[in-house]
Amino acid sequence: MEARLNIMASPVAAKAIRHIISAGKALADSTLPAATRELVMLRASQINGCAGCIDMHTKEAAHAGETSVRLHLVAAWREATVFTEAERAALELTEQGTRIADAAGGVSDEVWANAAKHYDEDQLAALVAQIAVINAFNRGNVITQQPAGDYRVGQFD
């Protein structure tokens, strides 16, 4: 399978993508736990059907010490007992933030309040930004049909 488009070959698109990459890297400096960031990126990518990001984030998370059990259960996190309450709140916020069009009001007050119980304002800001950034990556990859399976840990560092 080949991608429909090499988006990095376009000077304008490449510049925009580099800014999105920079935004993602800035979030690594936040106090939001790295494991939570990886779980969020994996869950949004699953929802959006972004094989490239699923490939990347499962490998990056495993390399960082995440267990295969937790990685396999992200798609069914509601029924899984391996996630903390804080992680569950982040995953719920991710789902509602990714599926904005599915609910008339977007993210519910209940989901927001639950996330706010577990994360301070800076962490919430990082969580919202992480959800937005991964959704941007997912959409670009899905639209251009980026292939998956060959990602190597640290490939885009």
Q: What is the model's pLDDT at position 66? A: 95
**The token pair that represents 56 in the structure block:** 């990347």
Mean predicted confidence (pLDDT) in 112-138: 98
Residue keyed to tokens 């990095």: 8
pLDDT in tens, 9-65: 889 999 999 999 999 999 999 999 999 999 999 999 999 999 999 999 999 999 999
Residue 69 burial (10 A CB sphere; 0-12, 13-18, 19+): exposed
Tokens 């997912």 found at: 138
- Per-residue pLDDT at 151: 83
Q: Residue 106: what pLDDT?
A: 87
pLDDT of residue 121: 97
Q: How far apart are CA 139 and CA 129, in angstroms?
A: 15
Q: How many CB atoms lie within 10 A of CB 137?
A: 23
Dig out the tokens for 126 from the structure: 């990082």
DSSP symbol at 134: H
Q: What does the pLDDT average to over 122-143?
A: 97
Q: Please say whether the beta carbons of 92 and 115 come within 8 A.
A: yes
**Per-residue model confidence as pLDDT tens digits over 75-93:** 999 999 999 999 999 999 9
Give the class (CATH, top level) of 10-144.
mainly alpha
pLDDT of residue 8: 82
